[in-house]
Chain A
């Protein structure tokens, strides 16, 4: 039987990638796990390994194509049992579900009400974002309809998956949108694209209520859910530059995080005069090992220890199942600024590593990030993030939690301040810390406790470790 090789989950939160290089050609014999195609995601370049061995029958993509997780990229020769036809059909059907084809389909349909085509492959969370965003932007005159929207939020979710099923089975027979003429007109009035609505009526028929609710909860949105921008060139020269993949993903992720996580910000200050001496004393030893002893490395160690003490900070929240997921491993993301944008590689099992090891690893991975050489594994599986802007400056900032994590620590620049100690002022190095956390899982008391513990650990680690 013909085997298909599909785009695997490349990295957390990354559903699409651009084919940057095809490393094999038709007719090649490949082995399982051999790299076949290299893709560029928003975060890194990754090579997709073969999930099976065999002779390549067909390469379904070309360089520059955008692919989504699950897309078939390569078909391997079968052993000739005649079942390949069917396989091909299946793959064809799947392809039809991709956004590009949907665009074509939309074009085929004539006289569609103002069908400005929209991206349909947005993740569920992205869709939710938009809905929530929309809430904010809602015009005043629609306030009175808000209640209904809330009530149906849940319903909509389940409807969504049903409709998807419908569409899958019904792909060929008809892409028709079923809605009465009056409802179609209402949709145009409200600027709603009926194709995006899953109707609540029989056979998915869209009712007036569906359209109104969608409008309230959902998207009049341009493709991104954003209100239309004015023509800025009216006021002066502008330059339009496309966003690179990293920026696009960051934008999508931070928006999703910001809209789905109720943030609380906790600030703290730590006297790191002692830590600075410690760094001064041990810096050469670490340099010999090939790393750089930094505050980030030390804080990574401290946070790793804190995560054991405060397990809800090392967790995720699943509202669908109404449960929290406590992780028994400690992986910490370190935010790295690169030329192309923000990357957050992961230090695995940070709690089991020494400060020296962490220093070396952080140096290495930051370098990898800047050279855009992060692999899929380098980006996955983080539980908590640290963002250090101390090198740049500022007194405090409020980083956004990296969904599905529940907390992030922001480090600003330490400054020398007079501190009243034993009856007199002493110049001490004071480090401003910011902790942003998901209030759904973490209470204010825990947040303050976590911050206190970090401060204590920086100032007097023995006492902190005493318990």
Chain B
């Protein structure tokens, strides 16, 4: 085989981390080779994650809101769900966006290679295309951005038929009558919500005493008020699973009792693991840590000068927006920008359920643990004109503010559009803003964003629309 020229920069994985790195590096004048098994960039996020799930969650929300409107005098009939059409629409969304990325990649003269990469040396790798044909290439520098994949449970093998992972759930082949979601984290809640809206009776089994372990309970309560699920089993483990012709028999072992339940399908959403296996890392000369993550410095450089890693494989939180930020930073590092480094103060997290939950920075639980000298201010949405006018009275906005410096250290929003509200708090924290910076910024009326301003006002004693009893 003819020996190829050394590629200037190879990026393995074209998810939000990889393609962001590739695009930015190309914009900075670097010749980029991007390798991914899919036909276009996008990765799990666009093909089987964030984007399709949000499309479906949007439908779920639309349906719920329509049903809800009967209380206000607009009554719709029970909706008819055309699952094929729903799946088709979701596919259209995915296709439009990934093709768009393909065009953006092409417009930047990025060499896109469809296939799977595996290192064969310090500067060499082998690409296997979808037909199993291999080719070799060598590179100067490489960014590993291979992402993560769902983990199963020891006694709960995912068979992609009756036992699903998130990808299977997003395929939307059928609407099971009864679905058990194992795992009360954000993926379980989001997908559980989708199926609940589609008419499935969804039960959730979670090992810990509540949804979203680590998240402040007051936020979770806002979500729970909607009672989205049929049954919820906390502190419960899946003991035994028997696959029958019709469905799945599951024995759930709670704190006190064990109960046997029948479901049509089981969705396993207990977590994700970094894709650092089968990459030939040993040949490259690095290895993952015991959790499977690659260790990197604040330039996202591994212990090898020419090898970088970004996204889910560098550690928690495994979030697309963290990955794309790392991608852009790394492109700048490689382009020789001295100031480029990964040093976020906060990474916002959002659960796109209905209502949405979003937070960033210090949480109340952490503040207690670390014994931080903070004042927690909470503004209930029942005091917000906009929230009440759209029937979102149960929402909540809160800020954690350093008592002495008045600097915003954390914040959270639970309610409609929480995900679109949280960036203001994230920006405030990154800027080192104080409560007065927020309270003195004019927020448009009537919007939900006012709840952030009024929370900040609460720090100084009183908000215009809320007086603590």
What residues make up the interface of A, taking CB atoms closer than 8 Å to B?
111-114, 166, 169-170, 172-174, 176, 178-181, 184-189, 201-206
Contacts and interface: CB of A to CB of B under 8 A. Distances in A.
12 contacts: A114-B341, A174-B402, A174-B409, A178-B407, A180-B431, A181-B343, A185-B339, A202-B437, A203-B406, A203-B407, A205-B407, A205-B431
B432 A203 contact: yes
A170 B338 CA distance: 32
Interface residues of B, number: 25
Contacts of B407: 174, 176, 178, 203, 205
Contacts of A188: 338-341
A204 B405 CA distance: 8
B343 A174 contact: no
A206 B433 CA distance: 11
A187 B339 CA distance: 7
Most B Cβ at <10 Å: residue of A111, A188, A203, A205: A203
A80 B338 CA distance: 59
B338 A174 contact: no
Nearest to A186: B339
Nearest to A112: B343
Contacts of A178: 405, 407, 432
B402 A173 contact: yes
B139 interface: no
Interface in B424-465: 430-432, 434, 436-437
A111 B373 contact: no
A18 B434 CA distance: 43
B430 A181 contact: yes
Nearest to A202: B434
Interface of B: 298, 337-345, 372-373, 402-407, 409, 430-432, 434, 436-437
Given A113-B298, A114-B341, A185-B341, A173 B430 contact: no
Nearest to A199: B432
A174 B405 CA distance: 9
Contact of B372 (A174, A184, A201): A174
Contact of A185 (B340, B345, B372, B402): B340
A185 B298 CA distance: 12
Given A114-B298, A203-B407, A180 B339 contact: no
Contacts of A206: 432
A111 B343 contact: yes
Nearest to A172: B373
Most A Cβ at <10 Å: residue of B338, B343, B404: B343
A185 B402 CA distance: 24
Nearest to B373: A173
A126 B254 CA distance: 66
A111 B299 CA distance: 10
Contacts of B436: 202
B338 A189 contact: yes
A173 B402 CA distance: 8
Contacts of B403: 173
B404 A179 contact: no
B55 to A, nearest CB: 31
A300 to B, nearest CB: 56
A5 B404 CA distance: 31
Nearest to B432: A178
Contacts of B338: 188-189
A422 B373 CA distance: 88
Given A173-B373, A188-B339, A202-B406, 7 more contacts: A111-B298, A111-B343, A180-B431, A189-B337, A202-B434, A202-B437, A206-B432
Contacts of B430: 180-181
A178 B361 CA distance: 14
Contacts of B432: 178-180, 201, 203, 205-206
A68 B404 CA distance: 29
A173 B406 CA distance: 12
A189 B339 contact: yes
A180 B426 CA distance: 11
Nearest to A190: B339
A97 B373 CA distance: 19
Contact of B341 (A113, A166, A202): A113
Contacts of A114: 298, 341
A208 to B, nearest CB: 12
Nearest to A204: B405
B404 A169 contact: yes
Nearest to A181: B430
A202 B337 CA distance: 30
Contacts of B339: 185-189
B405 A111 contact: no
A55 B298 CA distance: 51
A179 B298 CA distance: 17
A217 to B, nearest CB: 20
Nearest to A185: B339
Contacts of B343: 111-113, 181, 184
A184 to B, nearest CB: 6
A180 B405 CA distance: 16
A265 B402 CA distance: 56
A220 B340 CA distance: 18
A187 B372 CA distance: 27
Q: Top 3 nearest A-B pairs by Cβ distance?
A: A178-B432, A189-B339, A173-B373
A184 B343 CA distance: 8
B340 A203 contact: no
A113 B436 CA distance: 27
A180 B432 CA distance: 6
Nearest to B299: A114
A170 B404 contact: yes
B118 to A, nearest CB: 31
A203 B402 CA distance: 10
Nearest to A166: B405
B404 A173 contact: yes
Contacts of B345: 181
Nearest to B298: A111
Contacts of B373: 172-174
Contacts of B431: 180-181, 205
Most B Cβ at <10 Å: residue of A112, A169, A173: A173
A184 B430 CA distance: 10
Given A114-B298, A179-B432, A180-B430, A173 B372 contact: yes
Contacts of A186: 339
Contacts of B406: 202-203
B459 to A, nearest CB: 13
Nearest to B374: A173
Nearest to A206: B432
Contacts of B405: 166, 170, 173-174, 178, 203-204
A93 to B, nearest CB: 14
Contacts of A181: 343-345, 430-431
A114 B333 CA distance: 14
Contacts of B434: 202-203
Most A Cβ at <10 Å: residue of B298, B373, B406, B436: B298
B334 to A, nearest CB: 16
A185 B437 CA distance: 22
A202 B343 CA distance: 22
B404 A111 contact: no
A198 to B, nearest CB: 13
A187 to B, nearest CB: 8
